[in-house]
Structure 1
Amino acid sequence: MKKKKRKNTSEMSFLDHVEELRWHLVRSALAIFVFGIIAFLMKGFIFDTIIFAPKDPNFITYRFFCNVSKFFGADGLCITDIPFKFQSLAMGEQFSVHIWTSITAGIILAFPFIIWEFWKFISPGLYDKERKGAKTFIIISSFLFFIGVLFGYYIITPLSVNFLGNYSVSNLVERNIKIGSYISLMRSTVLASGFIFELPIVMYFLTKMGIVTPDFLRTYRKHALVVVLLLAAIITPPDIISQVIVTIPIMGLYEISIFISKAVLKNELKKEKSNE
Structure 2
Amino acid sequence: MSTFDTRTDRDSGEASEGDQTFVSHLAELRDRIIRAGASVIFAFIALVYWSPDIFRLLARPLMENLPSGGKMIVTDVTGSFFVPMKVTMAVAFVVALPVVLYQVWAFVAPGLYRNEKRLVVPLVGSSYLLFLCGMAFAYFVVFPAIFRVMAHYNAPLGAEMTTDIENYLGFVLTMFIAFGVTFEVPIIVVLLVRMGALTVEKLRKIRPYIAVCAFVVAAVVTPPDVFSQLMLALPLIVLYEAGILAAWLFVRNDASASDDGPPAS
Q: TM-score, normalised by structure 2?
A: 0.75
Q: Could you tell me whether the CA contact under 8 Å between 1:54 and 1:161 is conserved in 2?
A: yes
Cα offsets for 1:153-202 (capped at 9, x unmatched):
11222233233344349847543321111121112211321222122223
Which residue of structure 2 lines up, in the alignment, with residue 6 of structure 1?
none
Question: In the alignment, which of 171, 175, 197 is matched to residue 185 of structure 1?
Answer: 171
Which residue of structure 1 lines up, in the alignment, with residue 43 of structure 2?
35
Q: CA distance change for structure 1 residues 165 and 83 in 2, over 3 Å: closer, same or farther?
A: farther
Question: In the alignment, which of 172, 176, 196 is matched to residue 162 of structure 2?
Answer: 176
SS at 1:52 equivalent? helix
Structure 1 range deviating more: 125-134 or 136-145: 125-134
Distance 1:39 1:103 in 2: 9
Q: Could you tell me whether the CA contact under 8 Å between 1:82 and 1:162 is conserved in 2?
A: no
Shift, 1:22, TM fit: 4.2
Which residue of structure 2 lines up, in the alignment, with residue 116 of structure 1?
102
Q: Could you tell me whether the CA contact under 8 Å between 1:236 and 1:243 is conserved in 2?
A: yes
Which residue of structure 2 lines up, in the alignment, with residue 261 of structure 1?
247
The number of aligned residues is: 242
Q: Could you tell me whether the CA contact under 8 Å between 1:144 and 1:197 is conserved in 2?
A: yes
Q: Could you tell me whether the CA contact under 8 Å between 2:66 and 2:151 is conserved in 1?
A: no
Structure 1 range deviating more: 87-96 or 173-182: 173-182
Distance 2:105 2:48 in 1: 28
Shift, 1:133, TM fit: 5.2
Question: In the alignment, which of 187, 212, 222 is matched to residue 236 of structure 1?
Answer: 222
Distance 2:251 2:22 in 1: 30
Shift, 1:51, TM fit: 1.4
Q: Percent identity?
A: 25
SS at 2:72 equivalent? strand
Which residue of structure 2 lines up, in the alignment, with residue 51 of structure 1?
58
Structure 1 unaligned residues grouped into runs of 5+? 1-10, 58-78
Distance 1:14 1:208 in 2: 30
Q: CA distance change for structure 1 residues 25 and 55 in 2, over 3 Å: closer, same or farther?
A: same
Cα offsets for 1:114-149 (capped at 9, x unmatched):
332333333334332442456533432222111111
Shift, 1:272, TM fit: 8.1
Which residue of structure 2 lines up, in the alignment, with residue 5 of structure 1?
none
Which residue of structure 2 lines up, in the alignment, with residue 227 of structure 1?
213
Distance 1:107 1:244 in 2: 29
2:122 maps to 1:142: no
SS at 1:81 equivalent? coil
Q: Could you tell me whether the CA contact under 8 Å between 1:206 and 1:212 is conserved in 2?
A: yes
Structure 1 range deviating more: 193-202 or 157-166: 157-166
Distance 1:189 1:236 in 2: 8
Which residue of structure 2 lines up, in the alignment, with residue 250 of structure 1?
236
Residue identity matched to 2:206? Y
SS at 1:159 equivalent? helix
Distance 1:83 1:231 in 2: 34
Residue identity matched to 2:176? V
Q: Could you tell me whether the CA contact under 8 Å between 2:138 and 2:176 is conserved in 1?
A: yes
Q: Could you tell me whether the CA contact under 8 Å between 2:40 and 2:92 is conserved in 1?
A: yes
Q: Could you tell me whether the CA contact under 8 Å between 1:40 and 1:102 is conserved in 2?
A: yes
2:84 maps to 1:98: yes
Which residue of structure 2 lines up, in the alignment, with residue 4 of structure 1?
none
Q: Could you tell me whether the CA contact under 8 Å between 2:67 and 2:161 is conserved in 1?
A: no
Structure 1 range deviating more: 142-151 or 37-46: 37-46
Structure 2 unaligned residues grouped into runs of 5+? 1-17
